[in-house]
Amino acid sequence: MPADLSIFNFGGFSGFSGGTIMSIFFYIGIIILVVGIIGGLVIFLMYLKKYKHKIVVFKKIGNNIQKVAIKRAKRLNVSRAGDYLWFVQGVKKYIPPALIQMGKEEYWYYIRADGEWINFGLKDIDALQKEAGAFFIDTDMRMSRITTERHLRAVFKDEGFWKKYGEMMMMAGFVLIVTVCLIVLFTRLSVLADSINDLASSMRTFYEESEILNELVMSNRNNNVLPTRDINTSTSGLIPV
C-alpha cells in the first residue's frame, strides 16, 4: 500500500529558508545584546548617581592603622525639615553625614574600638613639626635617593628599541591576530549560513515534490485506477506437445 507522504510537512515553515531563519535569530540576538548592554550601563550609572559618596574605612589592626574597605553611601532623608543620614551599602549602616572631605565625594572614616564610625582627616605634618620646633634632615635618606636616581639613569639610558616598545608591539600583534581570527570566523559563519540556506532550499524542493507525489498517490487510490502494463499473448516460441 502506498505510504501517505504528508509526513514531510516540516511544521509549516516551508516558506522560510534556513538563511532567513538564521538571520532572524541573529538579529534578535544582536538586539538582546545591545539592549542588555545599554540597560546594564543605565543601571550602573543610576547606581553611581544614587550612591555617590565614597566611604574609605580605616581600622586599627595590631598596632597599625589600615584601610580595610571602600564602601558607597547614599543620602536618606529622615524628616521633612531637611534632616538626612547616610546609608552605607554592604554593611547596612546609618551614619551621620561627613563634614571632612578628603577628595571628590570621598570621605574617610575610622572604626573605633567600640565600633563607632568617626569621620577624620589628615593633619598638616609640616605645621605640627614647626609647632614642635623639630626640623628633621635625614642625610641617609637623601644619599639613598641620589644613589637610586643615578642607578635608574644608568639602567634606562641605553634602553633598546625592543625593550622600550616590545610590550606595545606584542600587544598590537595580539590585537591584530585576534582581529584576523574574528574576520575569518565571521567569513566562515557567512559560508555556513549560505550552506544552510542551500540545504533548506533543497529540503523545500523535496517537500514540494513529495506533496505532488502524495497528491497523485491519493488521487489514484480514490479513483481505483490500477497501473496498466502490456501482456504478451503471442504463442511464438512454444514447442507443440
Span 34-47, pLDDT tens digits: 888 888 888 888 88
The per-residue pLDDT for 140 is 65
Q: Where are the domains of the chain?
A: 13-50+167-214, 54-120, 127-159
- In whole angstroms, give the CA distance from residue 55 to residue 68: 11
HEC assignment per residue over 59-128:
EEECCEEEEEEEEEEEEEECCCCCCEEEEECCCCEEECCCCCCCECCEEEEEECCCCCEEEECCCCHHHH
Q: How confident is the model at residue 12 (pLDDT cuts 50, 70, 90)?
A: very low
Name the CA dihedral angle for 150, 151, 157, 162, rounded to a multiple of 10 degrees.
-160
Unique residue bearing C-alpha cell 572631605: 101
- In whole angstroms, give the CA distance from residue 90 to residue 51: 12
Higher model confidence: residue 163 or residue 201?
A: 201
107: closest CA among 115, 95, 116? 95
Which of the residue ranges 88-97, 195-204, 226-235 has the most confident prediction, judged by mean pLDDT? 88-97
The per-residue pLDDT for 70 is 92
What DSSP character marks residue 16?
S
The per-residue pLDDT for 108 is 93
Q: What is the rounded average pLDDT of the residues 186-208? A: 76
Element (H, E) at 53: strand 53-61
Q: How confident is the model at residue 171 (pLDDT cuts 50, 70, 90)?
A: confident
Q: How confident is the model at residue 231 (pLDDT cuts 50, 70, 90)?
A: very low
Which residues pair with residue 117 across a beta bridge? 111
Higher model confidence: residue 234 or residue 36?
A: 36
Span 68-113, pLDDT tens digits: 999 999 888 877 787 888 889 888 888 888 889 888 889 999 998 8
- In whole angstroms, give the CA distance from residue 175 to residue 170: 9
The per-residue pLDDT for 62 is 86
Assess contact for 83 and 75: CB atoms under 8 A: no
pLDDT for residue 203 is more than 70: yes
Higher model confidence: residue 107 or residue 20?
A: 107
- Taking the alpha carbons at both ends of the chain, their separation in whole angstroms is 42
Span 102-144, pLDDT tens digits: 888 899 999 988 888 999 988 877 777 777 776 666 666 677 7
56: closest CA among 13, 120, 124, 114? 120
Instruction: Give the 3-state secondary structure percentages of the chain, helix then strand then coil, rounded to 5.
Output: 55, 15, 30
pLDDT for residue 57 is more than 50: yes
Taking the CA atoms of 221, 224, 225 and 227 in sequence, report the sign of the dihedral they define.
positive
Strands 53-61 and 106-111: parallel
Q: Would you state the cell numbers that stand for residue 53, as one nine-digit string?
A: 559618596
> Mean pLDDT, the chain, as a whole number?
75
Q: What is the rounded average pLDDT of the residues 10-33? A: 63
Query: Rounded to two decimals, what is the model's pTM?
Result: 0.44
Q: How confident is the model at residue 56 (pLDDT cuts 50, 70, 90)?
A: very high
pLDDT for residue 160 is more than 80: no
pLDDT for residue 234 is more than 70: no
- In whole angstroms, give the CA distance from residue 65 to residue 50: 30
